[in-house]
């Protein structure tokens, strides 16, 4: 939202030379990317947070959106998780065999899959499949003026559309994370035992030696955070789509790229904090 | 009775581009006003500013005693309940059928029972001629139907102010004429303040009590219809006559050489056509806000162009008006007698 007074200097100095005009265009673009867009995004995040506590909660929308997200993510998630677990086993298994610690392959699976891979795979799917679809939906409503109509009818679109979507995203991300963990571990186990001549006993024993409950909890926390982020970015981009159908396409594209970047940064920060605060289990 | 909209010194720009500046006007309560202007002069932006969808850079919009751009969010949503807005394409919710679309504001803002909602919705749908299309989805109906459904939705909460964005875009002339008649009838019924944004000259000539015109980032003129329809202002005349010659060019404004070339070729903005009589409500009643034909011209010493205020039947409405009003008043006071239709011979 523009604030009153911003346009006060309009008209003055509008006709500059070519060079300074290009420079101004560049600096405008830079401020936009560095300051204005993040500022507007955080403003929307705060407004959404406030709208969360408004009664009544849109249960119907929440359930519909959750179901929608499940329908677009579950199968791709599993199909990504199986080879992911396999590849990890192949790579790390090979390395570990060279070090002569073959019996610890199961432990690597904990570290790699439960702690890191499953939240990341979840995030890719939530951002790529659910976020893009959500952004396209909201963006299409925006350019058809449905969002404007909603506001004019006295209904806050943040409360009505964004809050249930963000919750749905976060809620489903929790389950997806569990799914990826299980499917990934099964994939890793199958690869290790069947293709790399590992023994089931060693795999499970080392897994148990290494795994602890906080591993799963931090992964679930990450997944929740990623879900919220993906939902917020998708909603923000959708609500700010402009310029017809192409604008919606651009918004979807930006949603996916921005969400990926944010999720990887968030993942790094939460992992760092986790290692700082939760000691690894001794063996 | 509708609510007055008072706009003071409104300025809006997107980035470095000023859309319009220092727009001041008062849309009188209960009257129908039309805002004209060439494409791209920010008419729709103006309309969106009036409901607080866009925030102006400077200026005030007074709705009663509330200054809309500076209201806290909660008050803004409350104030918006005074408004009904008809967007260009109707802006129906694509996921709901027509009935649910029209019932939406009632379900959200009132505690009415479902049977009462049904009664109101069907009544409004009947008003816009959409009975029987309740279960259709917005994707399955034509542009004109979408517009009428959007109008029905804008009307269910009995708004004090009705804003309409280009009711005639994409509609055939017959549907446009019917829609125009509907606006007049609605105004007679609910007495709301109407602001219609359009560039259809026929609409502008026959419907409104007031006309305004936006051009080159400014409000050229805003006032009673007779003032603009008899105006000598070149921009207004060129626009209302739909001439190529005049200050308005294809892209923005014409430069001096182009204007000189035009005057050499003998093109001009045209003489003023006669002022047509205003559309009357189809049930024959007199709208509370309607001014007597020719009153403004007489009060300001302006001679209207020859042939003004004469309808298709050859009646001169300046002379006819007092008789018509008197006849309607007698008819209204006599119980059981329906007011006569202006086309009929009852009065």
For B308-343, give the DSSP string.
Answer: TTB-TT--BHHHHHHHHHHHHHHHHHSTTPPPPPTT
Contact B46, B27 (CB under 8 A): no
* Prediction ipTM score: 0.77
What residues make up the domain containing B205?
A: 5-229
When mean pLDDT is compared across B86-90, B144-148, B271-275, the lowest value belongs to B271-275
pLDDT under 50: residue ranges of chain A: 1-16
Cα–Cα dist A55/B237, whole Å: 54
Per-residue burial over A120-134, b if 16 or more Cβ lie within 10 Å, else e, is bbbbbbbbbbbbbbb
Contact call for residues A131 and A259 (beta carbons, < 8 A): yes
Q: What pLDDT score does B164 carry?
A: 92
- Whether A25 contacts chain B with CB within 8 A: no
Domains of chain A by residue range:
45-277
d(CA A201, CA A222): 30
What is residue B77's predicted lDDT score, i.e. its pLDDT? Answer: 86
d(C-alpha A198, C-alpha B286), whole Å: 93
* A46 contacts in chain B (CB < 8 Å): none
Which of the 8 DSSP states describes residue B248?
B
Residue B151 corresponds to which tokens in the numbers above?
């109008």
Residues 40-69 of A with CB under 8 A from B: none
Q: Are residues B322 and B239 in the same domain?
A: no
- The Cα A223–Cα A229 span in angstroms is 10
Note the pTM of the prediction, 2 decimals: 0.80
Note the pLDDT of residue A153: 87
Q: Which residues of A touch B89 (CB under 8 A)?
A: 144-145
Round to whole Å and give the CA distance between B214 and B218. 6
Q: Is the pLDDT of residue B252 over 70?
A: no
Confidence tier at B347 by pLDDT (50, 70, 90): very low
Are B31 and B3 a contacting pair, CB within 8 Å?
no
**With contacts defined as CB-CB under 8 Å, which chain B residues touch A2?**
55, 57
- Do B215 and B245 share a domain, yes or no? no
Mutate to test the interface with B, among A40, A149, A245, A248 (most CBs of B within 10 A): A149
Residues within 8 A of A (CB atoms), B 133-192 only: 150, 153
- Chain Cα centroid distance, residue B273: 21
Residue A132 has what pLDDT?
92
How many Å lie between the alpha carbon of B120 and the closest alpha carbon of chain A? 17
The reply to whether B134 and B195 lie within a common domain is yes
Q: Which of A4, A7, A145 sits opposite B89 (nearest CB)?
A: A145
> Domain check: are B343 and B309 in the same one?
yes
User: What gap in Å lies between CA B308 and CA B297, rounded to an integer?
Assistant: 11
- SS3 at position B163: strand
DSSP code per residue over A157-221: HIIIIIHHHHHHHHHHHHHHHHHHHHHHHHHHHHIIIIIS---HHHHHHHHHHH--HHHHHHHHH
Average pLDDT score over chain B: 84
* Contact list, B73 vs chain A (CB under 8 Å): 156
- Of the candidates A28, A141, A151, the beta carbon closest to that of B53 is on A151
Asked if residue B37 and residue B14 are part of one domain, the reply reads yes
Instruction: Tell how far CA B9 is from the center of its chain.
Output: 22
Per-residue burial over B261-290, b if 16 or more Cβ lie within 10 Å, else e, is: ebeeeeeebeebbebbbbbbbeebbbbebb
pLDDT tens digit sequence for B128-179: 888 888 899 998 988 888 888 999 999 888 899 999 998 888 778 888 888 8
Instruction: For residue A10, list chain B residues with Cβ-Cβ distance below 8 A.
Output: 11, 13, 16, 18, 21, 57
Answer yes or no: do A151 and B80 touch at CB < 8 A.
yes
Checking if the pLDDT of B121 tops 90, the result is yes
Q: What is the mean pLDDT of residues B282-291?
A: 82
Q: Which residues of chain B have a CB within 8 Å of the CB of A155?
A: 77, 108
Burial class (CB in 10 A: 0-12, 13-18, 19+), B42: buried
Confidence class for position B73, pLDDT limits 50, 70, 90:
confident
Per-residue pLDDT, averaged over B216-236, amounts to: 85
pLDDT at residue A282 in the model: 60
Structural domains in chain B (count): 3
Q: Which pLDDT value is given to residue B16?
A: 82
To the nearest whole Å, the CA of A154 is away from the closest chain B CA by: 5
Q: Are residues B245 and B209 in the same domain?
A: no
Contact B70 A4 (CB under 8 A): yes
| B13 shares contact with chain A (CB less than 8 Å) | yes
- Please indicate if any CB of chain B lies within 8 Å of the CB of A154: yes
Assess contact for B322 and B311: CB atoms under 8 A.
no
Element (H, E) at B17: strand B17-27
Stretch B35-56: mean pLDDT, rounded? 87
Whether B76 contacts B52, CB under 8 Å = yes
Q: Write the burial class of residue B243 (CB in 10 Å: 0-12 exposed, 13-18 middle, 19+ buried).
A: middle
Record: contact B55-A145, CB cut-off 8 A? no
Question: Over 70: is that where the pLDDT of B211 sits?
Answer: yes
Q: What is the CATH number of the domain that holds B195?
A: 3.40.50.300
Q: Kindly list the residues from chain A whose CB atom is less than 8 angstroms away from the CB atom of residue B80.
A: 151-154
């Amino acid at each position: 939202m523009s604030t009153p007074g911003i346009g006060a200097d309009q008209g003055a100095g509008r006709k500059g030379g070519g060079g300074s005009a290009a420079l101004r265009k560049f600096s405008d673009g830079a401020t936009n990317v560095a300051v204005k867009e993040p500022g507007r995004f955080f403003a929307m995040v705060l407004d959404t947070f406030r709208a969360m506590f408004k009664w009544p909660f849109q249960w119907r929308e929440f359930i519909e959106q959750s179901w929608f997200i499940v329908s677009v993510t579950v199968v791709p998630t599993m199909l990504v998780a199986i080879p992911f677990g396999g590849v990890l086993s192949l790579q790390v298994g090979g390395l570990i065999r060279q070090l002569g610690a073959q019996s610890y392959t199961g432990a690597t699976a904990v570290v790699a899959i439960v702690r890191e891979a499953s939240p990341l795979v979840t995030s890719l799917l939530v951002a790529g499949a659910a976020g893009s679809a959500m952004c396209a939906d909201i963006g299409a409503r925006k350019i058809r003026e449905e969002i404007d109509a909603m506001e004019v009818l006295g209904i806050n679109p943040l409360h009505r559309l964004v809050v249930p979507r963000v919750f749905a995203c976060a809620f489903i991300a929790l389950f997806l994370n569990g799914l990826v963990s299980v499917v990934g571990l099964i994939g890793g186990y199958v690869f290790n035992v069947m293709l790399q001549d590992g023994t089931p006993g060693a795999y499970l024993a080392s897994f148990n030696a290494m795994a602890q409950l906080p591993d799963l909890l931090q992964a679930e926390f990450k997944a929740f955070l990623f879900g919220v982020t993906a939902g917020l970015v998708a909603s923000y981009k959708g609500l700010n789509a402009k310029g017809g159908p192409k604008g919606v396409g651009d918004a979807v594209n930006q949603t996916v790229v921005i969400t990926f970047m944010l999720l990887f940064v968030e993942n790094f920060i939460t992992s760092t904090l986790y290692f700082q605060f939760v000691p690894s289990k001794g063996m | 009775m509708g609510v007055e909209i008072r706009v003071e010194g409104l300025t809006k720009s997107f980035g470095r581009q000023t859309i319009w500046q220092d727009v001041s006007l008062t849309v009188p309560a209960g009257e129908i006003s039309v805002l004209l202007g060439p494409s791209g002069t920010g008419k729709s932006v103006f309309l969106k500013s009036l409901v607080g969808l866009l925030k102006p850079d400077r200026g005030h919009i007074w709705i009663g005693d509330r200054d809309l751009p500076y209201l806290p969010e909660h008050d803004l949503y409350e104030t918006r309940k005074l408004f009904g807005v008809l967007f260009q394409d109707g802006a129906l919710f694509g996921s709901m059928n027509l009935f649910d679309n029209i019932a939406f504001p009632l379900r959200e803002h009132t505690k009415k029972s479902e049977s009462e909602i049904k009664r109101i919705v069907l009544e409004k749908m009947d008003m816009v001629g959409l009975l029987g299309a309740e279960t259709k989805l917005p994707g399955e109906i034509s542009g004109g139907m979408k517009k009428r459904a959007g109008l029905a939705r804008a009307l269910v909460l009995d708004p004090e102010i009705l804003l309409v964005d280009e009711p005639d875009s994409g509609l055939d002339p017959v549907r446009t004429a019917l829609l125009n008649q509907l606006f007049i009838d609605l105004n007679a019924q609910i007495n709301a303040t109407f602001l219609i944004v359009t560039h259809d000259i026929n609409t502008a000539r026959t419907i409104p009590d007031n006309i305004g015109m936006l051009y080159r980032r400014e409000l050229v003129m805003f006032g009673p219809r007779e003032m603009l329809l008899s105006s000598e202002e070149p921009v207004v005349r060129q626009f209302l006559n739909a001439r190529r010659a005049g200050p308005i060019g294809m892209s923005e404004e014409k430069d001096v050489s182009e204007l000189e070339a035009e005057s050499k070729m003998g093109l001009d903005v045209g003489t003023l056509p006669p002022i047509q009589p205003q559309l009357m409500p189809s049930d024959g009643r007199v709208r509370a806000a309607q001014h007597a034909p020719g009153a403004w011209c007489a009060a300001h010493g302006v001679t209207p162009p020859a042939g003004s205020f004469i309808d298709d039947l050859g009646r001169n409405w300046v002379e006819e008006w007092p008789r018509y009003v008197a006849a309607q008043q007698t008819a209204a006071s006599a119980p059981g007698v329906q007011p006569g239709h202006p086309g009929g011979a009852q009065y």
